[in-house]
Amino acid sequence: MDLKQSKLSNKEIIAAYKVIKETRKLDERLWQLNRIGKSTFNISGQGAEVGQVAMAMAFNSQEDYFLPYYRDMAAVMSFGTTAKDILMGSLGKKDDPASHGRQMPNHYGDKANNVISFSSTVTTQYPLATGIALALQVDKKPGAVLTVTGEGSTAQGDFHEALNFAGVKKLPVVFVIENNGYAISTPNDQEFGTDDLSSRAIGYGIQGRKVDGRDFAETYLAFKEAAEFAKAGGGSTLIVMDVDRLTAHSSDDDQRVYRDKAEIEEMKENDCILMMEEQLLDENILTIEELQEITTSIDQEIEQATLDAEAMPDPEASEIMTHIYETGGH
Amino acid sequence: MAEKTYLEAINLAIKEEMRRDDGVMVFGEDVGGEKGGVFGVTKELAAEFGDERVFNSPLGESEIAGLATGLGIMGHHAIAEFQFADYILPAVNQILSETAKMRYRTAGDYTAPIVMRAPYGGGVRGGFYHSQSTEKIFAGQPGLRIVTPSSVYDAKGLLKAAIRSEDPVLFYEHKKLYRAIKDDIPDEDYTVALDKAKIVKEGTDITVFSYGMMLQFVLKASEKLENQGISVEVVDLVSLYPLDQETIVQAARKTGKVLLVTEDTKEGSIMNNVSSVIAENALFDLDAPIKILAGPESPSMPYAKNLEDAFLVNQDDVLDAMVELAEF
C-alpha cells in the first residue's frame, strides 16, 4: 500500500519514519557497543521497525499500555522511550527506566510511558496483559492494551491461557505475534502445524488478522481498527505481523549457521526501511536531500545519546538489597 | 467477640477488606456465583460485591497468577485463589518470574501487591494431589512472602495484612483447619504482622517450632507435658518465607533444645531452612541436636487410610519426640 493510504498526514508519516530510522541506527550502535565489550548482549528488531512503529502509532502512551517483547525497540521508542534511555539499559546504568541496570539489555519497560516491564521468560507478558486490561475494564478507563510476543511463543501455555481468558471477558487487548520466521534457529515449520497463526483466534472467540509488517499503511490501519474495536468494548484481536529478522537471534548467535546465504541476502535487499524510503521519495513526502538530512541528524543524535548515556552513573553496589519488599530488603 | 471457624475468619477478612477497598477483587476456579469456592471460603462474596469483582476464572492457573499480577501492577490488591495448593504448580513460572521479581526488576517502578491463596495440607483423604505442602517450592524466592495462619485469630488478621500489603503474598491455608478449629475473635478491625513468628506458649525446657495442623498437635502435647513438669516454648512460624530469623534464634537459644515439626517431607522443607538458621546462629547455645519430625520421603500422601496415617506425623509422634528431647 502507499504510505498515504494510511490516511496519516505527511508530518505524521515523517515522524514515524524518523523513529524507524533512529531505531535502526541505535540498534547498529548497540551492536558496536557489544562488539567493543561495553555491553554484553544485544537482541535486535532489525527488519521489524516499520511494522512496529506502524503498530505502536495506533496507540497512545497516555491511556494505553504496552507489554512488549525484546525485539520491540522501535515500538517502545514510539511509545516515548528515548535512545539515551535504551543505551542506559544496554550499559546497565542507574537511570535506565526499564530496570535501573538490573535486567539484561532490551528488556524494556518505562513507567512514564506506560510500557510494562518485560522479563526473558517468553509469553508471560500475555497473562499480565489480561490483568492490565481487566483493570481498565473494571475501572471504566478508556485505554487499550497492546502486547507482543514472537511466533515461537505461540507454543507456550501462557499464550493459550491468556487468549482464552481475553475471549471470556472481551478484554480490550491487541495481542500481537511478530512472526520473523525463526525461534532462534527453529524455522516456522518446526514451530507449529498451521500456515496461518491468526486462525487460532477463532477458537478463542476473538478477532484474528494477518498483516505484512513491511507495509506501513496496511499495518497501521489494521492496528488502528483493532485498537478502536478494543476501546469500543468489542474485545480482543490477535494480529500476526510478518516481519524479517535481518540479524542473528542475538549478539550470541550467528544465523549464517542455519540460514541460507541467499535467503539472508534477499531479505537484506528487501529491507523494510529501504522500501519505506523508496515510498517516501515516490510519494513526494520527502526529497533525497531531506532523507539525507534526517540520517545525518539521527547519526548526531545517537552519537550524543551514547556520550550522554556513558556519562551516567552506574547503580550503587549497595542497591543490591533495595526494592525487594515494600520495606526494602529482607 | 464472636466465635468463628478458621474458614469463616478468612471469609470475613475478605469481606471486610472488600468493603474497605473497592480495588480488591477475588477470582479463581469456582469462587464466584452461588458456589463460593469448593471449600466455601468465598461464599456470599459475589452476592455482596457483584460478578465484576468476584468471578470464576477459567481452569488455567498460570493465567490466574498472571491476571492477578497484571491487576496488581494497576494498583488492584487482587486476591487469587488456587483451588488446591497442589494446583499452583502450573503458575510457578508466573509467580517466580513475574510476580516475585516485578518490584526488584523495576527498582520499585512496578509492584504486584496481590494475595494468592492456596489450601494445603493433608489428613483429609485427598490423596496425592489434594494433600501436598507445596510452600517449599516458593521458599527461597526473595520478593515473595509466604505466610500461613495456624489459629482462627491469625486467619483473619494475617489475611487482612496480606491484602493491605504492597508485597505479593502467598497465603497458605491449612484445609484441615478450615472447620477443625473455632475461636472467639474480636469484632474490631485488626491485623497480624506478615513477617513475625509468634511465641504462642512460653516455656523453658524445650522449644518446638511448627505451623498448620501440626501446631495443633504441638499445643496439645505441650499442655500434657506441662502436667508432667516439662515446660515447652511453642513457636508458630507464621512467615514461612522470609523466616523471622531473630525470633527463631532467640527462641532456640532460650531452651537450647529444639524440635521442628512439619507434615511435609523433610528434605528441602521449610523446617530444613529453620534448622539451618538455628545451626548457623545458635549452635553453641544448643544442648541437643536439632530434631526434625516430618513426613517420610515418599513422593506424596497416599489415599488409603492406613497409608495416609503412615505418612502423617500424628499426635503421639509429636508427644514422643517432645519427651525424648526433654530427656536428652
Instruction: Quote ipTM for the complex.
Output: 0.97
pLDDT at residue A282, rounded to an integer? 98
End-to-end CA separation in angstroms for chain B: 43
Determine which of A323, A327, A330 to mutate to test the interface with B (most B C-beta atoms within 10 Å).
A323
What is the Cα–Cα distance from A149 to B116, expressed in whole angstroms? 26
B164 touches chain A (CB under 8 A): no
Cross-strand partners of A110: A115
Residue A330: pLDDT band by 50, 70, 90 thresholds?
A: low
- Say if residues B247 and B233 touch (Cβ distance below 8 Å): no
Between strands B239-241 and B145-147, the pairing is antiparallel
Residue A328: pLDDT band by 50, 70, 90 thresholds?
A: confident
pLDDT at residue A27, rounded to an integer? 98
Question: In chain B, where do the E strands start and end?
Answer: 2-5, 26-28, 54-56, 79-81, 115-120, 145-147, 169-174, 182-185, 198-201, 206-210, 232-236, 239-241, 258-265, 291-295
Q: How far is A157 from chain B (nearest CA, A)?
A: 8
Cis geometry, peptide bond prior to residue B302 (ω within 30 degrees of 0) = no
**CA–CA–CA angle A130, B40, B124 (5° rounding):** 110
Residue at grid coordinates 494510511: A6
Size of interface A-B (CB pairs under 8 A): 135
Instruction: State whether A135 and B94 contact (CB < 8 Å).
Output: no
Q: How far is B257 from chain A (nearest CA, A)?
A: 27
Determine which of B21, B52, B55, B62 to mutate to test the interface with A (most A C-beta atoms within 10 Å).
B62
A143 touches chain B (CB under 8 A): no
DSSP state of A264: H
Q: What is the pLDDT of residues B20-72, one digit of tens each?
A: 999 999 999 999 999 999 999 999 999 999 999 999 999 999 999 999 999 99
A126 touches chain B (CB under 8 A): yes
Residue (of B59, B55, B141) closest to B98 by Cα position: B141
B303 touches chain A (CB under 8 A): no
Same fold, B2-185 and B198-327: yes
Instruction: State whether B109 and A130 contact (CB < 8 Å).
Output: no
Residue (of B280, B42, B12, B303) closest to B160 by Cα position: B12
Q: What is the pLDDT of residues A1-52, one digit of tens each?
A: 999 999 999 999 999 999 999 999 999 999 999 999 999 999 999 999 999 9
Q: Which residue of B has its CA nearest to A136?
A: B74
Instruction: State whether A130 and B66 contact (CB < 8 Å).
Output: yes
For residue B238, the SS3 value is coil
Determine which of A124, A149, A163 to mutate to test the interface with B (most B C-beta atoms within 10 Å).
A124
Instruction: State whether A158 and B66 contact (CB < 8 Å).
Output: yes
Residue at grid coordinates 505451623: B211
pLDDT at residue B307, rounded to an integer? 98
A114 touches chain B (CB under 8 A): no
B175 touches chain A (CB under 8 A): no
- Say if residues B79 and B114 touch (Cβ distance below 8 Å): yes
B268 touches chain A (CB under 8 A): no
Instruction: State whether A109 and B101 contact (CB < 8 Å).
Output: no
Cross-strand partners of A174: A146, A237
Number of Cβ atoms within 10 Å of the Cβ of A205 = 14
Fold of B198-327: Rossmann fold (3.40.50)
A217 touches chain B (CB under 8 A): no
A168 touches chain B (CB under 8 A): yes
- Say if residues B43 and B15 touch (Cβ distance below 8 Å): no
For residue A306, the SS3 value is helix
What is the Cα–Cα distance from A71 to A23, expressed in whole angstroms? 11
Q: Please compute Rg for chain B using Cα positions.
A: 19
> Which residues 6+ apart lie within 8 Å of B19 measured at CB?
none
User: What is the edge-to-edge ordering of all strands in the sheet holding A207-212?
Assistant: A65-67, A145-150, A173-179, A237-242, A207-212
A contacts of B67 (beta carbons < 8 Å): 127, 130-131, 134, 165
Among A157, A324, A325, beta carbon nearest to B62: A157
Determine which of A161, A169, A204 to mutate to test the interface with B (most B C-beta atoms within 10 Å).
A161
What is the Cα–Cα distance from B97 to B316, expressed in whole angstroms? 41
pLDDT at residue A329, rounded to an integer? 77
Catalytic (active-site) positions of B? 130
Residue A93 C-alpha from the chain's centroid: 21
State chain B's maximal CA–CA distance in angstroms: 59
Instruction: State whether B107 and A168 contact (CB < 8 Å).
Output: no
What is the Cα–Cα distance from A261 to A256, expressed in whole angstroms? 7
CATH number of this structure's domain A3-310:
3.40.50.970
Cross-strand partners of A208: A238
Half-sphere exposure of residue B42: CA atoms within 13 angstroms, side-chain side: 32
pLDDT at residue B313, rounded to an integer? 98
> Which residues 6+ apart lie within 8 Å of A269 measured at CB?
none
> Which residues 6+ apart lie within 8 Å of A199 measured at CB?
A208
Residue type for A309, please? A
What is the Cα–Cα distance from A46 to A191, expressed in whole angstroms? 22
Q: How far is B18 from chain A (nearest CA, A)?
A: 15
**CA–CA–CA angle B17, B240, A127 (5° rounding):** 60
Q: Which residues of A285-323 are buried (b: 16+ CB within 10 A; e: fewer)?
A: bbeeeebeebbeebeebbeebbeebeeeeebeeeeeebb
Over chain B, what is the mean pLDDT? 98
pTM of the predicted model, to two decimals? 0.98
Q: What is the pLDDT of residues A178-219, one digit of tens each?
A: 999 999 999 999 999 999 999 999 999 999 999 999 999 999
Half-sphere exposure of residue A96: CA atoms within 13 angstroms, side-chain side: 28
Residues 246-265 of chain A with CB under 8 A from chain B are: none
Over chain A, what is the mean pLDDT? 97
Q: Using a CB cutoff of 8 Å and minimum separation of 24, what contacts does B125-128 make?
A: B125/B303, B125/B305, B125/B308, B126/B84, B126/B175, B126/B301, B126/B303, B127/B300, B127/B301, B127/B302, B127/B303, B128/B86, B128/B299, B128/B300, B128/B301, B128/B302, B128/B303
Among A102, A103, A131, beta carbon nearest to B73: A131
DSSP state of A180: -
B110 touches chain A (CB under 8 A): yes
Query: DSSP per residue over A4-17, as a string?
Result: GGG---HHHHHHHH
Domain B2-185 class in CATH: alpha beta
Which stretches of chain B drop beneath a pLDDT of 50? none
What is the Cα–Cα distance from A274 to A24, expressed in whole angstroms? 11
Q: What are the domain boundaries of chain B?
A: 2-185, 198-327
